[in-house]
């Protein structure tokens, strides 16, 4: 299968490629990588990508001519689109003139809705599925009428990675200081602080049906010491879980958003959730793509990248009946920069000094 994978400078597209290379036995894969950054790591990984191309930014008028030429020259059949800007560009292209190759993408109106965290919160909060939130500008920092939530609350950018501009703010002084040291963020979203566990729920839809799902818990983050919140958006330690409560909230949230946007059930999403002080999971955002530890799911038997390719390839042997992946108890994953992830039992964690593993 000749597959275009975009945004290979990012961890997530490379993790997707690794899931196919290392854990899929469906077919042999010829992977073609693209990125708009000449310093993107994935452009220079011949062991992972058979060929790589530098392309213009998704918003550049030269983007589609360049991408179409690559698809034609390489006889590419399928595309895996990961960066949000490219997902939106491809989804829009699909509505306007059709795609140059097959890809699993959300409807354009759904994708635009989901990349705005504030819009997602506005839709879900009335159903009790998301924390109470509001959007503020820089000048609102001392305005009690605009700051509608009591301290402490969680603050972050209204778009981008969940770690962007994220912090637990305890008082007005911290709020003003945080805004000052994040000048690139124009609008912030503040939300009620959720103290519980942090979850990710994968949701794969195809042709109007939910096909596959799986749940994980994010526990620690890569380079967490460099972020005041401790959250960088890239998980270093997590648990693969069997948690129907998290799945049910994620499913309800997606059903509501898709109905509100009159969108088809199609695409691959990662629903992020966090527990409130009563242990009830609430949706904090919905990613219109996989996340960086997608190969950890694959290593434990939940190979979403292979599922996606089998759907795109119309594999007659693929069982399209809904399945939520289940894992053995105690399964965890560990990741770090420039290292392959490790899948193991949490009970194998070393707890005593001098203990041999």
User: Do residues 166 and 227 touch, judged by C-beta distance below 8 A?
Assistant: yes
Range with lowest mean pLDDT among 64-73, 105-114, 164-173, 267-276: 164-173
User: Do residues 297 and 149 touch, judged by C-beta distance below 8 A?
Assistant: no
* Size (the chain), residues: 357
How far is 150 from 177, CA to CA, in rounded Å? 18
CB-facing half-sphere around the CA of 88: CA atoms within 13 A:
15
Phi, psi of 250 (to 5 degrees): -60, -45
Give the per-residue pLDDT at 350: 72
How far is 228 from 165, CA to CA, in rounded Å? 9
Say yes or no to pLDDT of 309 above 70: yes
User: Do residues 248 and 180 touch, judged by C-beta distance below 8 A?
Assistant: no
Give the per-residue pLDDT at 147: 86
Give the per-residue pLDDT at 186: 82
Say yes or no to pLDDT of 354 above 60: no
Q: How confident is the model at residue 214 (pLDDT cuts 50, 70, 90)?
A: very high
Kindly state the helix (H) or strand (E) to which residue 136 belongs, with its residue range: strand 133-136
Give the per-residue pLDDT at 158: 80
Fold of 198-348: D-amino Acid Aminotransferase; Chain A, domain 1 (3.30.470)
SS3 at position 30: strand
Say yes or no to pLDDT of 338 above 70: no
Superfamily classification of domain 132-192: ATP-grasp fold, A domain (3.30.1490.20)
Give the per-residue pLDDT at 227: 67
Q: Which residues make up the CATH 3.30.470.20 domain(s) of the chain?
A: 198-348
Strands 331-336 and 235-241: antiparallel
Say yes or no to pLDDT of 357 above 60: no
The CATH code that applies to domain 2-103 is: 3.40.50.20
Say yes or no to pLDDT of 161 above 90: no
- The answer to whether the predicted template modeling score (pTM) of the entire model surpasses 0.85 is yes
Range with lowest mean pLDDT among 1-5, 25-29, 113-117, 139-143: 139-143
Range with lowest mean pLDDT among 51-60, 102-111, 169-178, 259-268: 169-178
Q: How confident is the model at residue 293 (pLDDT cuts 50, 70, 90)?
A: very high
Range with lowest mean pLDDT among 178-182, 214-218, 274-278: 178-182
User: Do residues 275 and 283 touch, judged by C-beta distance below 8 A?
Assistant: no
The more confidently predicted of residues 163 and 231 is: 231
Give the per-residue pLDDT at 249: 98
Give the per-residue pLDDT at 159: 73
pLDDT, average across residues 180-188? 86
Q: How confident is the model at residue 307 (pLDDT cuts 50, 70, 90)?
A: very high
Alpha helices in 74-196 (DSSP H): 84-96, 108-115, 117-124, 172-180
Q: How confident is the model at residue 14 (pLDDT cuts 50, 70, 90)?
A: very high
């Amino acid at each position: 299968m000749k597959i275009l994978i975009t945004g290979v400078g990012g961890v997530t597209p490379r993790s997707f490629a690794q899931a196919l290379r290392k854990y899929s036995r469906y077919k042999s894969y010829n992977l073609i990588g693209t990125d708009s950054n000449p310093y993107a790591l994935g452009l220079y990984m011949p062991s992972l990508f058979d060929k790589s191309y530098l392309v213009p930014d998704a918003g550049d008028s030269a983007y589609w001519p360049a991408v179409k030429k690559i698809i034609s020259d390489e006889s590419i059949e399928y595309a895996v689109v990961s960066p949000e800007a490219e997902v939106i560009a491809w989804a829009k292209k699909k509505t306007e003139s059709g795609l140059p190759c097959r890809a699993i993408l959300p409807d354009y109106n759904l994708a635009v809705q989901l990349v705005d965290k504030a819009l997602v919160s506005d839709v879900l909060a009335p159903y009790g599925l998301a924390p109470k939130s509001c959007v503020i500008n820089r000048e609102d920092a001392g305005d009690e009428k605009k700051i509608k939530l009591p301290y402490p609350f969680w603050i972050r950018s209204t778009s981008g990675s969940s770690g962007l501009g994220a912090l637990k703010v305890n008082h007005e002084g911290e709020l003003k200081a945080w805004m000052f040291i994040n000048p690139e963020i124009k609008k912030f979203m503040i939300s009620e602080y959720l103290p519980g566990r942090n979850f990710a729920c994968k949701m794969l839809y195809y042709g109007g049906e939910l096909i596959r799902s799986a749940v994980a818990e994010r526990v620690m983050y890569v380079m967490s010491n460099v972020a005041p919140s401790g959250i960088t958006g890239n998980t270093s330690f997590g648990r693969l879980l069997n948690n129907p409560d998290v799945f049910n909230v994620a499913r309800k949230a997606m059903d509501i958003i898709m109905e509100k946007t009159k969108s088809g059930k199609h695409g691959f999403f990662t629903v992020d959730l966090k527990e409130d002080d009563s242990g009830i999971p609430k949706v904090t955002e919905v990613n219109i793509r996989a996340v960086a530890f997608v190969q950890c799911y694959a290593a434990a038997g939940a190979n979403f990248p292979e599922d996606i390719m089998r759907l795109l390839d119309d594999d007659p042997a693929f069982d399209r009946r809904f399945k939520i992946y289940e894992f053995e108890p105690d399964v965890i994953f560990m990741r770090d920069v420039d290292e392959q992830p490790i899948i193991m039992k949490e009970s194998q964690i070393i707890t005593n000094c001098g203990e041999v593993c």
